[in-house]
Amino acid sequence: MAAEVLFVDDNKLILQASLDLFRSQGIDLLTATNAAEALELFRHHEIAVVVSDNRMPGMSGLDFLSELRRLSPDTVKVLISAYVDLATALAAINNSEVFRYLLKPWKQQEILDVVQEGLRRYQTVQAMRREDEAVLRSLAQTIELKDPNTKGHCDRVAVYALLIAEAMGLPKETLRQIKYGSWLHDCGKIGISEVILNGSGRLNEDEFKTMKLHTDWGADLAEKARLSEVAKNIIRHHHEKFDGTGYPLGLKGEAIPLEARIVAVADIYDALTTDRSYRGRFLESEAREMVRSMSGAALDPSILEVFLQVVPAGPLPSSEEVLGEVTPREADGKRPNLTLVRAQA
């Protein structure tokens, strides 16, 4: 059964206009004129996104969406109101987990964008929950398409992180969860505009504030998908800095989860050694010295030292090879024989 979109409004003209608009985009809608009708539809349909007016006869839209938090927690909720009401907006966010709060009269492109983004969010959560490796990797690669400069980034970060974690002697299941978290560490960017992701210059203050939200947005997706704590920690905390100047929480030192400190090293090194929209790549030797200079500031010194011992020169192995899940290919004898150096106690 395919996931569907539901509009709830006591104004039948608005419902008909919504039906016409979304059908023109190839999206069929379910409709209801009140909360009771809408709740009955949830008994028979998988609803990915619900858009509800707030002021309706009987149960208000806010109360209806609050009920959905219990009944259908994965459904992406959008509340629409004709009035600017800060108290209602805050209640919607805090009590109903509303994804967007829009004002009437909404613009056609605005409502199309919000619903389509909601559908992507719902599909992302469902894919993550299955923890199917092929699906998770494909999902990460799809997110990368929003920023062409990061093609292959999630795979490389996973390999670097696994090299570190394996050398530190972490358990096999932890390694697997580090792989998942590395693949999905930037999943919150699904909500970031391509204009910000693909800009040719440095971000301005407002753009950077928006960009920083991707860690919390990604962690929210991971929470809904019921991913492991290891994966969630990576997604939320991979931009924390060892000296406490990072985000989103400004954690310091060992207060930052170990797996996030590992991925932070991998993430920064890969960013330095690949082309970005605002600069070219650095040579591997230059990048090594640059990350070394971050020891004790952005990066955990002990993890950084392990990384500098195990990072290979030349082609990377696959994550499956690091985990010992496939027989390493020698690639015509050109692939180096990787010896992982155990971290000293």
H/E segment holding residue 344 = none
Could you tell me what percent of the chain has a pLDDT over 90? 41
Superfamily of domain 132-322: Hypothetical protein af1432 (1.10.3210.10)
In this model, does residue 342 exceed pLDDT 60?
no
Taking residues 176-200, what's their average pLDDT? 82
Q: Length of the chain in residues, anyone?
A: 345
Residue 189 known to be catalytic: yes
Residue 9 pLDDT class (50, 70, 90 cuts): very high
Closest listed residue to residue 51, CA positions, set 90, 4, 88, 84: 4
At 197 the pLDDT is 72
Q: Would you kindly state where each structural domain of the chain is located, as residue ranges?
A: 4-122, 132-322
At 148 the pLDDT is 60
Residues paired with 78 in a beta bridge: 51, 100
Q: What architecture is the 4-122 domain classified under in CATH? A: 3-Layer(aba) Sandwich (3.40)
Collapsed DSSP state (helix, strand, coil) of residue 149: helix
CB atoms closer than 10 angstroms to residue 211: 18
Could you tell me where the DSSP H helices lie in 42-106? 61-71, 86-96
At 149 the pLDDT is 64
Collapsed DSSP state (helix, strand, coil) of residue 56: coil
Taking residues 228-251, what's their average pLDDT? 96
At 144 the pLDDT is 74
At 282 the pLDDT is 87
Q: How far apart are CA 26 and CA 155, in angstroms?
A: 34
At 308 the pLDDT is 94
Taking residues 275-283, what's their average pLDDT? 75
In this model, does residue 193 exceed pLDDT 80?
no
Q: How far apart are CA 220 and CA 215, in angstroms?
A: 9
pLDDT tens-digit profile of 49-101?
A: 999 998 888 888 888 988 888 888 889 999 888 775 656 555 555 565 788 88
Residues paired with 179 in a beta bridge: none
pLDDT tens-digit profile of 11-33?
A: 999 999 999 999 998 888 999 99
At 317 the pLDDT is 76
Q: How far apart are CA 199 and CA 205, in angstroms?
A: 14
H/E segment holding residue 37 = helix 35-41
Which one of 107, 172, 179, 189 is the catalytic residue? Answer: 189
Could you tell me where the DSSP H helices lie in 168-273? 172-183, 194-197, 205-212, 214-224, 229-237, 258-272
